[in-house]
Amino acid sequence: MKWSISTKLFLVLVAISIATVTAMGLSARISFTRGFIGYLNDQSTAYVESVIPRLAEAYESEGSWEFLYHNPRAWYRLLDTRVRRDGPPQFSEVDFAAVQLRMTLLDADKEVVIGNRDLTPGVPMRPINADGKTVGWLALVPYQQATATADVRFQQRQLKQNWLIGLGTVLLAALAAWWLSRLLVTPLTRIASATHNLASGDYTVRIPVTSKDEIGGLSEDFNRLAQALAHNEQLRRSFMADVSHELRTPLSVLKGELEAIEDGVRTMTPETLASLQSEVATLSKLVSDLYDLSLSDIGALSYRMADVDIAEVLQSTLAAFQQRLAERGLKVETQIDAPVIVNGDEGRLQQLFNNLIENCARYTQTDGTVQVACRNIDGEVLIEVADSGPGVPADILPRVFERFVRAEASRNRSHGGAGLGLAICANIVHAHGGTITATAAPLGGLLIGIRLPQQRTLKV
Ligand X SMILES: Nc1ncnc2c1ncn2[C@@H]1O[C@H](COP(=O)(O)OP(=O)(O)OP(=O)(O)O)[C@@H](O)[C@H]1O
Q: Which residues contribute to the site for ligand X (CB under 6 A)?
A: 289, 355, 359-360, 363-364, 387, 391-392, 400, 405-407, 416-423, 445-446
How many CA atoms are closer than 13 Å to the CA of 420, on its beta-carbon side? Answer: 19
Q: Which stretch binds Mg ion (CB under 5 A): 93-101, 249-257, 416-424, 431-439?
A: 416-424
Out of ligand X, Mg ion, none, what residue 180 binds, judged by CB under 5 to 8 A for its kind, is none
Q: Give 344 or 419: the residue with its C-beta nearer to Mg ion.
A: 419
387 binds, among Mg ion, ligand X, none (CB under 5 to 8 A by kind): ligand X
Distance CA(366)–CA(134), nearest Å, equals: 141
Q: Residue 433's binding partner, choosing from ligand X, Mg ion, none, with beta-carbon cut-off 5 to 8 A by kind?
A: none
CB of 396 to Mg ion, least distance (A): 14
Q: How many CB atoms within 10 Å of residue 445?
A: 24
Cα 119–121–125 angle (5° rounding)? 75
Select 47 or 363, whichever has its Cβ closest to ligand X: 363
Minimal CB distance residue for ligand X: 417
Q: Closest distance between ligand X and the C-beta of residue 328, in Å?
A: 12
Q: Which amino acid is at 303?
A: Y
Alpha carbon separation from 203 to 98, 187, 226 (Å, rounded)? 83, 19, 6
- In angstroms, the CA 417 to CA 427 distance is 18
Minimum distance between the CB of residue 460 and Mg ion, rounded to whole angstroms? 29
**Residue number, 300 or 356, with CB nearest to Mg ion:** 356
CA distance 94 to 142: 19
Which CB sits closer to Mg ion, 115 or 421?
A: 421
Looking at beta carbons, which residue is closest to Mg ion? 421
- The residue (of 421 and 445) whose beta carbon lies closer to Mg ion is 421
Closest CA to 428 of 280, 299, 256: 299
Sign of CA dihedral 343, 348, 351, 355: negative
Shortest spacing between CB 317 and ligand X, in angstroms? 15
Half-sphere exposure of 221 (CA within 13 A, CB side): 8
Instruction: Give 344 or 419: the residue with its C-beta nearer to ligand X.
Output: 419
Least separation in angstroms between CB 214 and ligand X: 44
Residue 359 interacting with Mg ion (CB under 5 A): yes
| Cβ-based nearer residue to ligand X, 194 or 422 | 422
Q: Residue 187's binding partner, choosing from Mg ion, ligand X, none, with beta-carbon cut-off 5 to 8 A by kind?
A: none
The DSSP string of 227-272 is HHHHHHHHHHHHHHHHHHHHHHHHHHHHHHHHHHHHTTSS---HHH
- Using CB distances below 5 to 8 A depending on partner kind, what does residue 419 bind out of ligand X, Mg ion, none? ligand X
Task: Check residue 136 for interaction with Mg ion (CB under 5 A).
Answer: no
DSSP string, 38-92: HHHHHHHHHHHHHHHHHHHHHHHHHSSSGGGTT-HHHHHHHTTEE--SSSS-EES
In whole angstroms, the minimum distance from the beta carbon of 236 to ligand X comes to 20
Is residue 421 near Mg ion by the rule CB under 5 A?
Answer: yes
Residues in CB range of 450: below 8 A, 6 or more apart: 352, 381, 382, 383, 384, 429, 434, 435, 436, 437
| Separation of alpha carbons 367 and 42, rounded Å | 119
Q: Cβ closer to ligand X: 300 or 330?
A: 330
- Tell me which of Mg ion, ligand X, none is bound by residue 363, counting a contact when its beta carbon lies within the kind-specific cut-off of 5 to 8 angstroms: ligand X
Least distance to ligand X from the beta carbon of 416, Å?
4
What, of Mg ion, ligand X, none, does residue 115 touch, CB below 5 to 8 Å by kind? none
419 contributes a contact to Mg ion by CB under 5 A:
no
The Cα 440–Cα 422 span in angstroms is 16
CB atoms within 10 A of CB 336: 17
| Minimum distance, C-beta of residue 9 to ligand X, in the bound complex (Å) | 58
Are 361 and 325 spatial neighbours (Cβ–Cβ below 8 Å)? Answer: yes
Residue 416 interacts, among Mg ion, ligand X, none and using kind-specific CB cut-offs from 5 to 8 Å, with ligand X
Nearer to ligand X, 317 or 364 (CB): 364
Say how many residues touch Mg ion, by CB under 5 A: 3
> Where would I find the beta strands (DSSP E) of 93-183?
103-107, 112-115, 125-130, 133-140
Of residues 359 and 364, the one with the C-beta less far from Mg ion: 359
| Least distance between ligand X and beta carbon 432 (Å) | 18
Q: How far is the CB of 283 from ligand X (least distance, A)?
A: 12
- Site residues, Mg ion (CB under 5 A): 359, 417, 421
